[in-house]
Structure 1
Amino acid sequence: TVDLTSLINDADSDISNEIQNLSEVLTEGNTADAQIKNVTDPTDAQDAATKAYVDALEAQIAALDARITTLEPATVGDFRNGGVVFWVDPTDNTHGLVCAIEDQSSVIPWNNGSYIVTGATGTAVGTGAANTDAIIAAQGPTETDYAAGLARAYTGGGFNDWFLPSQDELNEMYLNKAAIEATATANSGAVFYNDYYWSSSEVNNPYAWYQSFADGNKLGFFKYISYYVRAVRAF
């Protein structure tokens, strides 16, 4: 029970019009009728249990919101999942590929200083991630010194599963260049250069595929040549 007389600090000692000191009120026990509680760090067991339940419920709601966003139908040019949608899986229209809103370097070579066969031969949409894994496994840990490693090191949107696009994935980016650029620049990104971009698709020991973003031409050329890189990821 709160002793009201102990909280009176006005001149007339009348408990009907006392001026209370908040710091004193807060020290008068831990009961609902005697203390203003700290709801963010409750000491009462029931309050603590209630807060834990509410916190868990809010976490579940946040997780459901994230899943709903993931399952929303995607359209080329959407800004979501860390980048700009440039390809949508036609089987369900909720999954696809996004590219980064800007390039990851000025120019950089495909290889890591020596010619080796990496086995990154996939060219189709959906093979870029496996290509990137193969290139990094073959070329070593100095990842930011070559195209595939630099793409994997990118963490745009808080994601760490970016990769260097395959030949066909890169071509989809070129075909949707205008839509990508419109969304990228609206979200503090940048346009593509009218220059060459590396794919993750290997041709043979000395060559890998690249594509011109000026005219769309696709060619195989020496891996030591430095071209631009724009990372992609699946959602």
Structure 2
Amino acid sequence: MMGYKKALKVGSMALILLINHALQAADKSDSSNYAPGDVGPHGGIVYFVDASGEHGLEAKASDEINTLNWNEAVIASSAYGAEWRLPSKTELKLLYEQRSLVGDFANDDYWSATELDSNSAWIQGFFNGDQDRYNKYSTLRVRAVRPF
């Protein structure tokens, strides 16, 4: 019976060490350095990184399945969880500039979260690079982003 208790203690200690190692590895992954094109800490594609390499922006790897009006776009972007959202006008311009790293964009217009007034918001053309205002009731493409 003593052999069983000793084996149980050794097994328990090994399990505790394994869990501790896994937690330390997870802590290190939270402070990893990222570069544009990497898979980000929340599963998106990194398209902007600050000088530290630890903070930036990541975008979903693909658009929403359907084109959406602006209000639907805001809701759909936030449905992915904490901090996922529609990009600001400036963030969307950065995303356009890094479109080849992120990939899977249509040659079409995409919504930004930046409102001009109660009836219009800014958009980014992914076919020509232009930004313009657009009626919120129109349906356009959507790509969610989040900071890290």
TM-score bucket of the superposed structures, by smaller chain: 0.7 to 0.9
Percent pairwise identity: 31
Q: Residues 31, 52 of structure 1: CA spacing in aligned structure 2 closer, same or farther, 3 A cutoff? A: closer
Which of the residues 67, 77, 90 maps onto 2:37? Answer: 77
- Structure-1 separation of matches of 2:96 and 2:124: 8
2:138 aligned with 1:225: yes
- Structure-1 separation of matches of 2:131 and 2:66: 20
- Structure-1 separation of matches of 2:8 and 2:34: 41
- Structure-2 separation of matches of 1:87 and 1:74: 9
- Structure-1 separation of matches of 2:49 and 2:95: 12
Superposed, 1:70-149 pairs within 5 Å as 70-81=30-41, 82-90=43-51, 92-111=52-71, 146-149=72-75
Residue 234 of structure 1: how far off its partner (Å): 1.7
Q: Residues 161, 61 of structure 1: CA spacing in aligned structure 2 closer, same or farther, 3 A cutoff? A: farther
**How many residues were matched structurally?**
147
Preserved contact between residue 108 and residue 225 of structure 1 (Cα < 8 Å): yes
RMSD: 1.9
TM-score, normalising length: structure 2 = 0.88
Residue 85 of structure 1: how far off its partner (Å): 0.7
Which ranges of 4 or more aligned residues in structure 1 deviate by more than 6 Å?
none
- Structure-2 separation of matches of 1:148 and 1:232: 11
Superposed, 1:30-41 pairs within 5 Å as 30-32=1-3
Residue 31 of structure 1: how far off its partner (Å): 4.2
Which of the residues 21, 32, 49 maps onto 1:61? Answer: 21
Q: Which has the higher strand share?
A: 2
Q: Residues 223, 72 of structure 1: CA spacing in aligned structure 2 closer, same or farther, 3 A cutoff? A: same
Query: Which position in structure 2 is the counterpart of 1:140?
Result: none
Superposed, 1:8-47 pairs within 5 Å as 30-32=1-3, 44=5, 46-47=6-7
Q: Residues 149, 51 of structure 1: CA spacing in aligned structure 2 closer, same or farther, 3 A cutoff? A: farther
> 5+ residue gaps in structure 1?
1-29, 38-43, 112-145, 182-190
2:67 aligned with 1:154: no
- Residue type of the partner of 2:118? N
Query: Which position in structure 2 is the counterpart of 1:143?
Result: none
Structure number with the bigger relative contact order (C-alpha 8 A, sep ≥ 6) is: 2
Corresponding residue SS for 2:117: coil
> 5+ residue gaps in structure 2?
none
TM-score, normalising length: structure 1 = 0.57
Which of the residues 99, 104, 109 maps onto 1:177? Answer: 99
2:124 aligned with 1:211: yes
- Structure-2 separation of matches of 1:202 and 1:176: 23
